[in-house]
Every structure is written in C-alpha cells, then in structure tokens.
Chain A
Amino acid sequence: GENVEQHPSTLSVQEGDSAVIKCTYSDSASNYFPWYKQELGKGPQLIIDIRSNVGEKKDQRIAVTLNKTAKHFSLHITETQPEDSAVYFCAARASGFQKLVFGTGTRLLVSP
C-alpha cells in the first residue's frame, strides 16, 4: 500500500522567510496530493492540492510542486507570517481508492 514520508518534523523560520516542507510517496499510481493545515485544537483544513497531471500549483503565498518521476512533492510558503504557525500534513491518494494516506506532520513555527 501507499506510504508517505514527511520532512522535517519541525521547522522554525523568521517572519518573512520562506518555508519548505517535503514529502515522498511510494505508490506510483497515486494521483492526488493535498496539503492540510492544522491549528491548535482544530481539525485539519485543506490549504492546497495538486493532481498528478500538473507539476506546480500556486495560491498567493502558497505553492506546491510535484515530481512524479522522483515521487515527491513539496509545499512552499513565501513571506511567512506568525499566523502561518501550525502543523502541516501532506497526503496522497492512489488512483481507484477512496483513502488518503497522510504524512506524519511538520510543526512550523514562525517567529516575529
């Protein structure tokens, strides 16, 4: 089955810097890759996703890149702000399955 690895587990940056979180997946049939943000005491919330027929997707300060050959995808946050501090999860879905497999999460801390 699918296995998703996520790095780093914690990431500290200064406000205004960029942050990059990386994930690798094992199943070459996976075709959907969402990223979730979880604030303290809340459920995860989708912030951006990408499908396997696209190499990059951008939404304001957030972007996701996908390298199908290497089976990895990354979340890029530019001009970080303190409110970006949260836990971020990547996930992957294999074609034909209704299940998402999640990475173990990255705790991002943005210091003013």
Chain B
Amino acid sequence: NAGVTQTPKFQVLKTGQSMTLQCAQDMNHNSMYWYRQDPGMGLRLIYYSASEGTTDKGEVPNGYNVSRLNKREFSLRLESAAPSQTSVYFCAIRLGGQGALYEQYFGPGTRLTVT
C-alpha cells in the first residue's frame, strides 16, 4: 500500500471520546476517500474529497467530520465515538486524470474499537 499511509493502525476508544484518523498520500492525486468496512456490509463510503478544500458526504456520514487542508492529507474525525463506529477504516485515492482511469488505491486501514 505504498503511496497512501494511515495512522494509527489500531485504536481503542471509550464511548464519547474523540479522535482523528489521518491519511496522507504521496502520489499527488486530487480525489481522496474515507470508507468503513464492516462484516457482511462491504465497503461503505463515509466522505470524499474531489480536490483540496472540497468535501462531500458519502453513504454513511453521520457521526463523522472530515478535513482536506491540503492536497496531500485527508483526515476523518469522530467527535463523540459510539460502539456502532467500531469498524475498519480505509482511506483511498483515485488514480488517473479527469475522465481517464478510475482506479481507487487503498491504504492499509485503521482498526478502531469503541467500548
């Protein structure tokens, strides 16, 4: 998963605590995404950012906020963690230019447990 890094790799939170998941890319691409993966549910889009300074909601945005402060970094924040947010979180980038390839390239993931 070289090119997309996620920190931390693992995290345990108590209900009500807050934290920020970090994602950084060194591939100079515009579009970045946050997904969560739950057993039997596949990958569900939380938020995405088409370019620096823009963000849009995905399928399951409730309980999350995002920041795209520069082209390289896209962070996901849980303001008040709930057990339902226990999941594996993946950051992804979109490869290719406008109208070209659409491959999404995934980071290694962050495993979050909320107790």
Q: Which residues of A contact B (CB under 8 A)?
A: 6, 9, 32, 34, 36, 41-46, 49, 89, 93, 98-105
Contact = CB atoms under 8 A, between A and B. Distances in A.
Given A98-B31, A98-B50, A98-B94, A45 B106 contact: yes
Q: Which secondary structure characterizes the binding site on chain B?
A: strand
Contact of A104 (B31, B41, B104): B41
Interface of B: 1, 4, 31, 33, 40-45, 48, 50, 58, 90, 92, 94, 102-109
Given A42-B109, A44-B43, A105-B42, A49 B50 contact: no
Nearest to B44: A102
Contact of A46 (B1, B41, B104): B104
Contacts of B58: 99
B43 A102 contact: yes
A6 to B, nearest CB: 8
A99 B94 CA distance: 10
Contacts of A46: 103-105
Contact of B107 (A9, A36, A43, A89): A43
